Amino acid sequence: MRLMLAQTAPQWGDVPANLVTLEALCRQASAAGADLLALPELALSGYNIFARLEEFAEPVGGPIARRLGELAADYGLFLLVGLAQRQADGRMTNAALLIDDHGERLATYHKRQLWDREHAVFAAGDACCVEDTRLGRLGLMICYDNEFPEMARALARGGAEVILSPTANMVPNAERQVLQIRARALDNQCFVACINRAGTEAELHYCGNSLVAGPDGEVLGQLGAGAGSLVVDLDRGRLGESRANQDYLKDLRPTPEITP
Amino acid sequence: MRLMLAQTAPQWGDVPANLVTLEALCRQASAAGADLLALPELALSGYNIFARLEEFAEPVGGPIARRLGELAADYGLFLLVGLAQRQADGRMTNAALLIDDHGERLATYHKRQLWDREHAVFAAGDACCVEDTRLGRLGLMICYDNEFPEMARALARGGAEVILSPTANMVPNAERQVLQIRARALDNQCFVACINRAGTEAELHYCGNSLVAGPDGEVLGQLGAGAGSLVVDLDRGRLGESRANQDYLKDLRPTPEITP
């Protein structure tokens, strides 16, 4: 599959403007022959919108999702976009929506590991999310999820070949992000892509450095701190190659708990 | 604590010669003010001794352990040394022996994740090993254990502040080793030290690159490919600093299994 990451710096609170940018990115992705275009966490509202979440959270199947479906179908692209979602019971989640190239919703993942002030506004998701697609078996996680090896491991044990993670990670965490994404890929012998933000929102300075790591932990592509995009080909044959000598998922023994 | 790692290239199958080298290392460690001297996996026999394991496996409390106790007491050093051990039931394990500075055995860890041909000769250990010492709470793992995030996580959840891993890792795994050791340290916000071998034994070319990583994944010291040693101070105050902003062990939620 050919993956395009868009490390955007969204207009804060301006969904219509960010949808216009998204259409330009779809055009770019289509011209690059990409199969899937992935955007950061809360990519259409901006991340630092906690105080205005009631206004920006999207009901399930709401107008943003409908527009994403149109764009996906128009440009023949899978889309992965982070957005705040309001559930039927009124609770908000920090979600990632995966849409196929016919505009159909394939999966919605709700962030499990909330970070810092997110606890005050979002309900944490419970489920992990792995989705079979014609591009391969895709696992989803979001930002702080990346920092827990258990998350990527659960996705890989669930069969994920490519793990995609929209993020809004901040300065000074760029090196930490690169280290953890590479380790998740190596430890699970799969592809892991982190789609981070650029730009600044009030006191938050996003650190960019979006990257794609391959099944031996190698960096297949990485951006700097500023806005930009990255197109990489993910060869699923690499998964078997990496597992030919040693296969961590097969070799792994259950680890006993130790009483502290 | 002040830690000295000895990245040795043992004389193959010559335990007396390797014990002489060990005494020289004890003298060096003592002169450097080290509290603990750590050696690689199977450091006194050589690693590639599978065909002669009956000859080289040490019974519990055997002559090597007694000599280690004398050296530890004589030089006032904690010692951590990898060796093959024959259990009471005749089974062999790939072990690491931790001895305090009075020459008393504190812990024996038996490698849980056996690698490749080790399965044919060693019985895998079951238990994880975390030991309270006056230097801090020390967790032990050995070589292939490092490649499974579950191992370091279990030790950290068991309270390990410093994880020590004697290894005999080979070319071309140096970069993989550095990535995984740094990620184990960062993910668990603790110190992790990998004490690897140098040199060559028949078809096996060891990759060196022993290193110590700190609780933000930073490299506190690293060797190259050849034999050498490294002395680093581990400041336990760094553990609290690293966990002040976010504490992974506290924040971690149980991850549900996904059906593949």
Q: Give the model confidence (pLDDT) of B8-43 as tens digits.
A: 999 999 999 999 999 999 999 999 999 999 999 999
Q: Give the model confidence (pLDDT) of A164-182 as tens digits.
A: 999 999 999 999 999 999 9
Q: Cβ(B46)–Cβ(B39) under 8 Å?
A: no
Q: Backbone phi, then psi, for B165, in 5-degree steps?
A: -135, 100
Q: Give the model confidence (pLDDT) of B156-185 as tens digits.
A: 999 999 999 999 999 999 999 999 999 999
Which residues have a Cβ under 8 Å from the Cβ of B59 and sit 6 or more positions away? B85, B86
Q: Which CATH class is domain A2-237?
A: alpha beta
* Confidence tier at B197 by pLDDT (50, 70, 90): very high
Domain spanning B2-225 has what CATH number? 3.60.110.10
CB contact (8 A) between residue A255 and residue B112: yes
Tell me whether residue B41 is one of the annotated catalytic residues.
yes
* Confidence tier at A260 by pLDDT (50, 70, 90): low
**Minimal Cβ distance to B149: which of A149, A157, A257:** A149
* Confidence tier at A257 by pLDDT (50, 70, 90): confident
Tell me whether residue A129 is one of the annotated catalytic residues.
no
Q: Give the model confidence (pLDDT) of B97-129 as tens digits.
A: 999 999 999 999 999 999 999 999 999 999 999
Which residues have a Cβ under 8 Å from the Cβ of A134 and sit 6 or more positions away? none
For the question of an ipTM over 0.85, the answer is yes
Per-residue pLDDT, A256: 81
Per-residue pLDDT, B260: 67
Tell me whether residue B250 is one of the annotated catalytic residues.
no
- Distance CA(B236)–CA(B57), nearest Å, equals 36
Q: Give the model confidence (pLDDT) of A17-74 as tens digits.
A: 999 999 999 999 999 999 999 999 999 999 999 999 999 999 999 999 999 999 999 9
A111 pLDDT more than 70: yes
Q: What is the CA radius of gyration of chain B?
A: 17
Q: Flag whether residue B244 sits within 8 Å of chain A, measured between CB atoms.
A: no
Q: Flag whether residue A50 sits within 8 Å of chain B, measured between CB atoms.
A: no
Per-residue pLDDT, A258: 79
> What burial letters (b/e) apply to A86-120, b meaning 16+ CB within 10 Å?
beeeeebbbbbbbbbbebeebbbbbbbbbbeebee
CB contact (8 A) between residue B258 and residue A116: no
B257 pLDDT more than 80: no
Which of B116, B150, B163, B245 is the best substitution to test chain A (most A C-beta atoms within 10 A)?
A: B150
**Longest distance between any two alpha carbons in chain B, whole Å:** 56
Q: Spell out which residues of chain B touch residue A243, defining contact as CB-CB under 8 Å.
A: none
DSSP 8-state symbol, B253: P
CB contact (8 A) between residue B186 and residue A175: no
Per-residue pLDDT, A245: 87
